Amino acid sequence: MSNFLKVAAFSLFIIGVYTFFADRLIPPIAPQAPPPLTEVAARPMTADGLARLGEEVFKGKGACTLCHNPVGGRAPLLDGIIIKANERIKGPGYRGGAKDAAEYIRESMVNPSAYVVPGFGVAGTHDTKSPMPDVRGSEIGLSEVEIDAVIAYFQRSAGVEVTVGSPAAGPEGK
Amino acid sequence: MAFVKKAPFISVLALSALLVLISFLSGPSKAFSADTPSSPVISSQTHDAGVTAAQAAYPPAPKLKAEDYPKVKGLNPRLTVWMAAQMHLWFAAFVLAVPIFVFIFEAIGMAKKDRRYDSTAYEFMRVSMVAYSITAITGGLLLLSLIVFYPDLMKYLASIFGPTMILYALIFFAETGVLYTYYYGWHALDRGARKWAHLFLGFLLNLSGTALMFIANAWVTFMMTPAGVDIRGAFDGNVWHAVHNHLWSPMNLHRFIANIAYGGSIVGAYAAYKFLSSNTDEDRAHYDWMGYAANFVAIGALLPLPFAGYWLTAEIYAYSQQMGINLMGGVFAWLFIVQAVLIGALFLAANYYLWCGLSRSEGGRRYTKYIKYIAFALTVSFLVWFTPHTLVLKPSEAQALGGQYHPYLGPLGLMPAKNTAVNIMLLFTYLSFLLYRRSNRIAISSWAIYGKATQAAIFVSAIANIVYLGVYYGYFTNTVYKVASSVPQVVTTLFVIVSCSLIEAAIYRRSEEAGPYRWGRMPERSQYALFLIAVTFTWLMGLMGFVRSAIRQHWHVYSVMRDASPDAFTPTIGYAARVVSVGTIIFMAIVIFIFWVSNLSGRRPHGGGRAG
């Protein structure tokens, strides 16, 4: 019986040490609450509004900067993407179906493997498969409005005409 | 003992309940289609168009609301399912591991004609019989709690995995039959060709147990990296696509190896307790030997486990970088510091046990002087592994430090440093094992000294190579290449283990005994190392099970079926630690009960030493 008690006490002590360490000594970081269930953005009435929404999506819900950043090197940088997109769709290696920069960005978001920037494909696929998910999937879950908004954000940042989405793209979008 | 005899009925009852529930859940039978040409990964088809005929037959994953989750007064749904799942996993790991352990022991016993192996194998099958029933019961509880609290999730999973659930039940029936034939036929099939037939039953038992685990792994991994469904969660009709998802193979490998390690640790704890309680030298020697053998199995399986873990993590990244970053760089990053402490404790305990084992032979004294150096290397490696990358600091502390990273120790928090540390720990643990193996031997080959010098050269070169790879990839390459050091480091470690083992075998092919080798001549404190290993393994499994499940975040099935219940938030590591601790205590209490029940049938059967 004394052996049993000694072993039980020893085991409880070990469990207690692990619990104390994990519960008390590790910084108590509370994970973020899950995003609200219904978060489909309403379509802004102006091109500027659409671009502002796009910036919010780009830096927030879209989780784009998680990989498209200069630190990790996991995905190509998106600085000057409008210019780069126009160059890529004219390049000999382009396999996608986009005709202009807006279509290229949309294609990259909803069908990322249509064309993979060299060096950024899944290992072993020779850049035929992208590690990026379809942004409409629920993991990110962008709506059509939000996809348009991200494109508008890039266009506005590049100083070119906003050609997507907004019914009122006209005056402000020029 | 009556409980042991009733075990078949309990298992069959649990299984019957399982079948009824599966039939209920599966609903209208879906045809098993092997020729659907859809992609085995989540398809990028649009929501409105391009849906194949097969997909049209399956609805999208349901979009749930909070009111879709039944409530039972006094029970927290997530906690109930969590505890039931954890209990089932612990027992399942045990009952899957013990037959592997038993099969190996029976085969070695046959090859060496040493009855000790056979009697130990039988003793453990007796323990496993009760554990098997409890595994079935906890499995039934898990299924019941899932159906009660998460009916829509279970309906969705059953609509995809229905055929595999039926297959699972059938294999479970087969496993039950083989198990009881194997156990109750042990003495009837004890000689000659019958013994071979018995060994074959052991093989079938392992085959069916492993098949069950692989099937269940498919369900679990589908929830993390769903395949065979489109972005709405609509199934493409091909079960193989859903089964063969990103994590299925690495999870199969990781759990298979981990179960062996875990089974070894529990057997080791059993042997340690029996050792401490033994009244005769014969019993003490027997249980000392059993503890050593079990620890050998546990640590032998632990060594390749980090590499299986790398593969699993790499596949998580390959499926979803977001999920991978959540795992290693988000709120769970600190969990890996806890993991480092636990694995560090495992390594230190395993080495301590080996060092104590040097006292079994007078020849062991020759090597005790090296212990302090090995302990130093292990401790330094442990501290490197334990070092966090980002520090949680007050503003004044951050200002004094110049940021969130310590200027000198910060780099030790990166993966290359940790990979380096763990490989060095593995090598020094292997060195402890080599010294232990030499403790009772004196090499008499004329070239032995050159062989040992070659081993030393390989060992030192390997350490230098591992450190170089860690430093180069860690600090002189782009972030995306930082984990690239892991593969050559692992290859280096494996090369040392294989090459040094071959040289060792050649050196000691001709050897003399250094002194009488006495099983049972171990200090009592050494046995507590075995308890520590078993408790740590159990706790570690619980913690890593939590993180594996938690990286799904607020998803039942990642990215296709959202968890809308009030429990959809991710708990903190501290909360998870408390849950795991309570679970560990309950599990350990039941294990003690199992050991007690299995011993009611009397003393262990004495093998009678070598048969031939």
Backbone angles phi, psi at B443, to 5 degrees: -75, 135
Domain membership of residue A95 (yes or no) is yes
Which residue among A18, A131, A133 sits closest to B342, beta carbon to beta carbon?
A18
Q: Is the pLDDT of residue B461 over 90?
A: yes
Helix (H, G, I), strand (E, B) or coil at A151: helix
**CB-CB under 8 Å, A31 with B570:** yes
CATH code, domain carrying A82: 1.10.760.10
- Average model confidence (pLDDT) across chain B: 85
CB pairs under 8 A between A and B: 133
- Chain B residues close to A111, C-beta within 8 Å: 44
Q: Looking at CA atoms only, how far is residue B334 from chain A in angstroms?
A: 7
**CB-CB under 8 Å, B479 with A71:** yes
- Chain B residues close to A23, C-beta within 8 Å: 573-575, 577-578
Q: Which long-range contacts (CB under 8 A, 24 or more apart) does B483-487 make?
A: B483/B314, B483/B415, B483/B416, B483/B419, B485/B416, B485/B419, B485/B420, B486/B310, B486/B415, B486/B419
- Residue B496, Cβ neighbours under 10 Å: how many? 23
Domain membership of residue A64 (yes or no) is yes
Structure confidence at residue B28 (pLDDT): 40
Which residue among B532, B553, B571 sits closest to A34, beta carbon to beta carbon?
B553
Could you tell me how many residues make up chain B? 612
What is the sign of the dihedral through the CA atoms of B281, B268, B301 and B606?
positive
Domain membership of residue A17 (yes or no) is no
- Chain B residues close to A119, C-beta within 8 Å: none
**CB-CB under 8 Å, A18 with B581:** yes
Please calculate the CA angle B257-B262-B265 and round it to the nearest 5 degrees. 130
Band the pLDDT of B417: cuts 50, 70, 90: confident
Chain B residue whose CA is closest to A111? B44
Query: What are the helix (H) ranges across B113-191?
Result: 115-149, 151-184
- Residue A13, Cβ neighbours under 10 Å: how many? 12
The answer to whether the pTM exceeds 0.90 is no
- Residue B423, Cβ neighbours under 10 Å: how many? 28
What is each CA distance from B362 to B76, B438, B441, B502, B529, in whole angstroms?
A: 58, 11, 10, 25, 22
Structure confidence at residue B196 (pLDDT): 94
Band the pLDDT of A171: cuts 50, 70, 90: very low
- Chain B residues close to A35, C-beta within 8 Å: 554
Query: Domain span at residue A102?
Result: 44-173
The token pair that represents B184 in the structure block: 């109750």
Band the pLDDT of B38: cuts 50, 70, 90: very low
Which residue among A7, A23, A24 sits closest to B273, beta carbon to beta carbon?
A7
Whether B230 and B52 have beta carbons less than 8 Å apart is answered as: no
Domain membership of residue A37 (yes or no) is no
Band the pLDDT of B23: cuts 50, 70, 90: very low
The secondary structure of B376-393, three-state, reads HHHHHHHHHHHCCCCCCC
Domain membership of residue A144 (yes or no) is yes
Q: What is the DSSP string of B301-366?
A: HHTTHHHHHHHHHHHHHHH-HHHHHHHHHSTTTTHHHHHHHHHHHHHHHHHHHHHHHGGGBGGGGG
pLDDT in tens, A104-124: 999 999 999 999 999 888 877
Closest by CA to B183, choosing from B133, B113, B112, B116, is: B133
The token pair that represents B432 in the structure block: 């402890």
Q: What is the DSSP string of B214-278?
A: HHHHHHHHHHHS--SBBTT--B-S-HHHHHS-TTHHHHHHHHHHHHHHHHHHHHHHHHHHHHHH-
Regarding predicted confidence, which is higher, B497 or A71?
B497
Backbone angles phi, psi at B93, to 5 degrees: -60, -40
**CB-CB under 8 Å, B543 with A22:** yes
Q: Looking at CA atoms only, how far is residue B196 from chain A in angstroms?
A: 39
Domain membership of residue A39 (yes or no) is no
**CB-CB under 8 Å, A28 with B574:** yes
Chain A residue whose CA is closest to B323? A139
- Chain B residues close to A21, C-beta within 8 Å: 338, 341
Which residue among B44, B338, B563 sits closest to A26, beta carbon to beta carbon?
B338
Task: Name the β-bridge partners of B517.
Answer: B361
What does the alpha-carbon distance between residue B502 and residue B597 come to, in Å, rounded to a whole number?
43
Q: Which of A11, A106, A120 to mutate to test the interface with B (most CBs of B within 10 A)?
A: A11
Chain B residue whose CA is closest to A67? B321
Place of tokens 């198990």: B179
Chain B residue whose CA is closest to A110? B44
Domain membership of residue A30 (yes or no) is no
* Domain tally, chain A: 1
Helix (H, G, I), strand (E, B) or coil at B511: strand
**CB-CB under 8 Å, A138 with B318:** no
Q: Is the pLDDT of residue B405 over 80?
A: no
Domain membership of residue A65 (yes or no) is yes
Band the pLDDT of B371: cuts 50, 70, 90: very high
- Chain B residues close to A12, C-beta within 8 Å: 585
Q: What is the ipTM of this complex?
A: 0.84
Structure confidence at residue B145 (pLDDT): 96
Structure confidence at residue B611 (pLDDT): 36
Q: Looking at CA atoms only, how far is residue A29 from chain B in angstroms?
A: 7
Which residue among A24, A71, A111 sits closest to B44, beta carbon to beta carbon?
A111
Cα Rg of chain A, angstroms: 24
Strand intervals (E) in B482-599: 511-513, 555-557, 561-562
Query: Which residues does B316 contact at the CB level (< 8 Å), separation at least 6?
Result: B224, B225, B246, B247, B323, B324, B327, B551
Q: Is the pLDDT of residue A173 over 60?
A: no
**CB-CB under 8 Å, B559 with A133:** yes
- Chain A residues close to B342, C-beta within 8 Å: 18
Chain A residue whose CA is closest to B335? A22
% pLDDT > 90, chain B: 55
pLDDT in tens, B281-298: 999 999 999 999 889 988
Averaged pLDDT for residues B500-508: 94
**CB-CB under 8 Å, B585 with A12:** yes
Helix (H, G, I), strand (E, B) or coil at B561: strand
